[in-house]
Amino acid sequence: MRSALVLGTGLIGTSIALALSGRGVRVHLADRDPDQRRTAAALGAGTEEPPEGPVDLAVAAVPPAHVAAALGGLQARGAARGYMDVASVKGGPRRELTAAGGDLRAYLGTHPMAGRERSGPLAATADLFEGRPWVLTPTPETDTEVLNQVLELVSLCRAVPVVMDADAHDRAVGLVSHTPQLVSSLLAARLASAEETAVRLSGQGIRDVTRIAASDAGMWIDILSANPGPVADILSEFAVDLDETVRALRALESADEVKRAEGAAGVEGVLRRGNAGRERVPGKHGAAPAAYETVAVLISDRPGELARIFADAGRAGVNVEDVRIEHATGRQAGLVQLMVQPASAPVLTASLRERGWSIRQ
Ligand SMILES: NC(=O)c1ccc[n+]([C@@H]2O[C@H](COP(=O)([O-])OP(=O)(O)OC[C@H]3O[C@@H](n4cnc5c(N)ncnc54)[C@H](O)[C@@H]3O)[C@@H](O)[C@H]2O)c1
Ligand SMILES: O=C(O)C(=O)C[C@]1(C(=O)O)C=C[C@@H](O)C=C1
């Protein structure tokens, strides 16, 4: 691929543009908001100059409700040889493009399974899609050349292509993306009016479960409006599970020993089913989750401490597979959990101790 046009230079569009530009593709940037386009260009994502002729691939990275109109407009002026979108829902945009008389042979609906709770070009990174699944929804009418261009884009973004039917995709992301967003928002909403004393105690658990509650509400209304049925189905099953869990917890309050035992079994069942579900979530690069060992290190809240600990891990010859940081409320210290291969844990622990770090068991 030699040239691309990215329409919509927010989080996803700019991340794609950064990855393509970094690998030698000439990327033209467009956005209805000139500030977003300017910012993306300043980040090195591409040029603000419009292309002189049709580019190889045009990418519509705009909110789902705008996809069909954006693609229709691009196709009407012959902006590219192939067209794709990255919207989080696939059935609706395809039907809208069909209704608007768009050219479906030159179009491929896609969805990268990577993102963030922040929007806009300043949140973009070139490595956002590395090792992540990227869903492609070709149909028998999709032009092979367009499919190949999209596969090349996915490969340049270092993502892993996954081919699916558009409606099957929407049901699947209803479970693994859209319902989690609502569950996270529902839980975070409980904090909005909670006592300050309670909120100040927030640790890593609540941070993990509510991170995506910070996402853009406008974008999510768009996504959920395009996939309400599957999400409502999953949430009603969730509501049944919630009712059962509440009943089990009430039973745990009972004076009757038999009822308490039933309650405990009910709650344990929820926790164990949760363990089983969590085990199925793939780790990095789409592989099964690796069993890493954690080396927990106390760090002081000073600039450069994180860089220093990573450099020391490198000096010990240990690859850090994953990392977590816990900030202790009101204290000038935090706990860094370095996840490493089990065989590397003793090496890292000894080496960091030698360099003066305080290791927590
Ligand atoms: N945020 C995520 O985690 C995520 C992940 C995967 C896919 N997506 C999908 O990617 C798309 C973009 O999401 P984002 O998170 O980058 O949003 P964003 O808000 O960061 O960026 C969207 C950009 O599109 C521009 N825009 C809106 N309407 C336009 C139009 N009609 N013409 C030209 N530009 C227009 C906006 O000005 C903005 O710069 C959405 O379809 C979303 O469903 C998002
Ligand atoms: O990590 C996040 O912030 C995301 O929510 C990303 C996420 C997801 O659910 O995995 C959100 C919506 C997108 O369509 C794709 C990715």
Whole-number Å distance, alpha carbon 285 to ligand 2 midpoint, is: 16
Residue-wise pLDDT for 286-322, tens only, equals 555 567 889 999 988 787 888 888 889 989 998 887 7
> Which three-class secondary structure state does DSSP give residue 75?
helix
Confidence class of residue 330 from pLDDT cuts 50, 70 and 90? low
Percent of the chain with pLDDT over 70: 97
The CATH superfamily holding the domain 293-360 is ACT domain (3.30.70.260)
Whole-number Å distance, alpha carbon 359 to ligand 2 midpoint, is: 34
C-alpha to C-alpha distances, 305 to 159, 299, 301, 337, 357, nearest whole angstrom = 31, 7, 7, 14, 11
Residue 286: the pLDDT is 53
Answer yes or no: is the C-beta of 113 below 6 A from any ligand 1 atom.
no
Residue-wise pLDDT for 246-258, tens only, equals 999 999 999 999 9
Answer yes or no: is the C-beta of 13 below 6 A from any ligand 1 atom.
yes
Q: Return the CATH number of the domain spanning residue range 3-164.
A: 3.40.50.720
Tokens of 184: 């996270």
pLDDT beyond 70 at 284:
no
Whole-number Å distance, alpha carbon 324 to ligand 1 midpoint, is: 28
Residue-wise pLDDT for 187-243, tens only, equals 999 999 999 999 999 999 999 999 999 999 999 999 999 999 999 999 999 999 999
Mean pLDDT of the chain: 94
Task: Name the residue of 12, 37, 128 whose CB sits within 8 Å of the most ligand 1 atoms, as the mutation to test its pocket.
Answer: 12
Residue-wise pLDDT for 116-144, tens only, equals 999 999 999 999 999 999 999 999 999 99
Mean pLDDT over 265-287 rounds to 88
Residue with tokens 């099964």: 288
Whole-number Å distance, alpha carbon 55 to ligand 2 midpoint, is: 29
Task: Name the residue of 90, 110, 111, 113 whose CB sits within 8 Å of the most ligand 2 atoms, as the mutation to test its pocket.
Answer: 113
Positions of E strands within the chain:
3-7, 26-30, 55-60, 80-85, 107-112, 133-136, 160-163, 293-300, 322-327, 333-340, 358-360
Which residues share a beta bridge with 340?
Answer: 293
pLDDT beyond 60 at 285:
no
pLDDT beyond 80 at 331:
no
CB atoms within 10 A of CB 151: 16
Mean pLDDT over 27-32 rounds to 98
Residue with tokens 């996939």: 227
Domain residue spans of the chain: 3-164, 241-288, 293-360
The answer to whether 3-164 and 293-360 have equal CATH topology is: no
Mean pLDDT over 330-353 rounds to 88
Per DSSP, the residues of 162-176 read EE--HHHHHHHHIII
Tokens of 195: 């006592």
Closest to 113 (Cα-Cα) out of 95, 93, 146, 90: 90
Tokens of 164: 């699916």
Cα separation, 70 vs 76, in Å, equals: 10
CB atoms within 10 A of CB 115: 21
Answer yes or no: is the C-beta of 309 below 6 A from any ligand 2 atom.
no
Whole-number Å distance, alpha carbon 84 to ligand 1 midpoint, is: 13
Interface predicted TM-score (ipTM) of this complex, two decimals = 0.98
Half-sphere exposure of 307 (CA within 13 A, CB side): 3
Whole-number Å distance, alpha carbon 113 to ligand 2 midpoint, is: 6
Residue 306: the pLDDT is 83
Half-sphere exposure of 63 (CA within 13 A, CB side): 15
Residue 238: the pLDDT is 97
Q: Are 211 and 184 a contacting pair, CB within 8 Å?
A: yes
- ∠ CA 292-111-220, nearest 5°, is 95
Residue 79: the pLDDT is 98
pTM over 0.90: no
Task: Tell me the backbone φ, ψ of residue 75, rounded to 5 degrees.
Answer: -65, -40
Mean pLDDT over 161-188 rounds to 97
- Among all bound ligands, the one having the nearest atom to the CA of 212 is 2
Sequence-ordered list of residues with C-beta below 8 angstroms from that of 357, at least 6 positions apart, any chain = 297, 298, 299, 309, 312
Cα separation, 58 vs 321, in Å, equals: 35
Residue with tokens 């609540």: 206
Going 168 to 170 to 173 to 179, the CA torsion angle's sign is: negative
